[in-house]
Amino acid sequence: MPNAFAFNIPFVSIFLAMLTAIITPLIPVKAGIKNINKATLPERVTCCVIALIGVLSALLLFALNADEPISFRFMMGHFPAPWGNELRAGPLEAFLALAFSISMLLSLTGNFDATAYDISERRRPAFCVLVNLLMASLLALLYTNDLFTAYVFIEINTIASCAIVAVKEGGKAVRAALRYLVLSMAGSGLILISICILYDITGHLLMEPMHNAIINIINTGNYINPLTVALYLMTVGLAVKSALYPFASWLHDAHGSATNASSSILSGLVLKGHIFLIIKIFCRIFGIDIIHLLRMDTQLLIFGLLGMIMGSVHAIGQSEAKEMVAWSSVAQVGYIFLGIGLNSNAGIAAACLHVTIHAMIKPMLFTAVGGLSAAAGHKKGLHELMGTFYANRWAGIGFMAGACSMMGIPTFAGFASKLSLTMAAFESRAIIWALAALAASSVLNA
Amino acid sequence: MLNRLLLNHYEAAAVILSCIGLTNLLLQRNMIKKIIGLNIMDTAVYLFLAAKGYISGRTAPIYYLDANGEWVNQVQAYVNPVPAGLVLTGIVVSVSVTAFALALTLRLYEHYGTLNIDEALFLLEHKYELEYSSYNDDDELLYEFGVDNRDMIKAANEAASKSMNDKGGDEDHA
Measured distance CA(A86)–CA(A76) in Å, rounded: 6
What's the pLDDT score for residue B133?
38
Give tens-digit pLDDT for A122-158.
788 888 899 999 999 999 999 998 899 999 999 999 9
Q: What ipTM goes with this model?
A: 0.85
Give tens-digit pLDDT for A208-233.
889 989 888 888 888 888 889 999 99
* CB count in 10 Å sphere of residue B82: 18
CA distances to B56, B164, B165, B167 from B171, in Å: 75, 11, 10, 6
User: Quick check: A286 and A231 in contact, CB under 8 A?
Assistant: yes
Angle between helix A271-280 and A124-143 (nearest 10): 10
Give tens-digit pLDDT for B59-74.
877 877 877 878 877 7
| Chain A neighbors of B26, CB-CB under 8 A | 182, 186
CA distances to A153, B64, B156 from A18, in Å: 12, 39, 44
Residue type, B127: K
Instruction: Specify if B59 maps to a domain.
Output: yes
- Range from A99-103, A376-380, B105-109 that averages highest in pLDDT: A99-103
What's the pLDDT score for residue B135?
43
Cβ contact, residue pair B86, A166, below 8 Å: no
The H-or-E segment that residue B65 falls in is strand B64-65
Cβ contact, residue pair B52, A186, below 8 Å: no
Instruction: Specify if B62 maps to a domain.
Output: yes
Instruction: Specify if B159 maps to a domain.
Output: no
Measured distance CA(B76)–CA(B157) in Å, rounded: 67
Nearest to A121 by CA among A49, A21, A31: A31
For the segment A272-278, the average pLDDT, to the nearest whole number, is 92
Q: Which of B90, B104, B121 sits opposite A181 (nearest CB)?
A: B104
User: Quick check: A122 and A91 in contact, CB under 8 A?
Assistant: no
Judged by DSSP in three states, B83 sits in helix
| Chain A neighbors of B97, CB-CB under 8 A | 155, 158-159, 185, 188
Looking at the predicted structure, is the pLDDT value of residue A12 above 80? yes
What's the pLDDT score for residue B134?
41
Chain B, window 143-172: residues with a beta carbon less than 8 angstroms from a chain A beta carbon: none
* CB count in 10 Å sphere of residue A316: 11
For the segment B83-89, the average pLDDT, to the nearest whole number, is 89
| Chain B neighbors of A181, CB-CB under 8 A | 100-101, 104
For the segment A233-261, the average pLDDT, to the nearest whole number, is 86
Instruction: Specify if B6 maps to a domain.
Output: yes
Looking at the predicted structure, is the pLDDT value of residue A35 above 80? no
| Chain B neighbors of A151, CB-CB under 8 A | 93
Instruction: Specify if B56 maps to a domain.
Output: yes
What's the pLDDT score for residue A427?
60
**Domain containing residue B73:** 1-81
For the segment A29-55, the average pLDDT, to the nearest whole number, is 77
Residue type, A60: L
Instruction: Specify if B42 maps to a domain.
Output: yes
For the segment B84-93, the average pLDDT, to the nearest whole number, is 90
| Residue A296: φ, ψ to 5° | -75, -35
- Range from A39-48, A71-80, A235-244, A417-426 that averages highest in pLDDT: A235-244
Total domains present in chain B: 1
Instruction: Specify if B70 maps to a domain.
Output: yes
End-to-end CA distance of chain B: 76
Please, which pLDDT band fits residue B99 given cuts at 50, 70 and 90? very high
A229 touches B at CB < 8 Å: no
| Chain A neighbors of B130, CB-CB under 8 A | 171
What's the pLDDT score for residue B53?
84
What's the pLDDT score for residue B165?
59
Measured distance CA(A141)–CA(A129) in Å, rounded: 18
What dihedral angle (degrees, nearest 10) is formed by the CA atoms of A151, A153, A159, A163? -150
Instruction: Specify if B156 maps to a domain.
Output: no
What's the pLDDT score for residue A401?
77
B90 touches A at CB < 8 Å: yes
Q: Which of A14-23, A64-73, A330-339, B83-92 has the lowest mean pLDDT?
A: A64-73
Using a CB cutoff of 8 Å and minimum separation of 24, what contacts does A33-40 make? A37/A109, A37/A112, A37/A113, A38/A112, A38/A113, A38/A115, A38/A116, A39/A109, A39/A112, A39/A116, A40/A121, A40/A124, A40/A125
Q: Which of A175, A185, A199 sits opposite B117 (nearest CB)?
A: A175
Measured distance CA(A109)–CA(A54) in Å, rounded: 15
| Chain A neighbors of B52, CB-CB under 8 A | 196, 199-200
Looking at the predicted structure, is the pLDDT value of residue B141 above 50? no
Q: How many helices (H) and strands (E) does chain B have?
A: 6, 2
Q: Which of A152, A177, A196 sits opposite B93 (nearest CB)?
A: A152
Give tens-digit pLDDT for A352-385.
988 998 888 888 888 888 888 877 776 776 666 6
Give tens-digit pLDDT for A154-193.
999 999 999 998 888 777 888 888 889 999 999 999 999 9
Cβ contact, residue pair B107, A172, below 8 Å: no
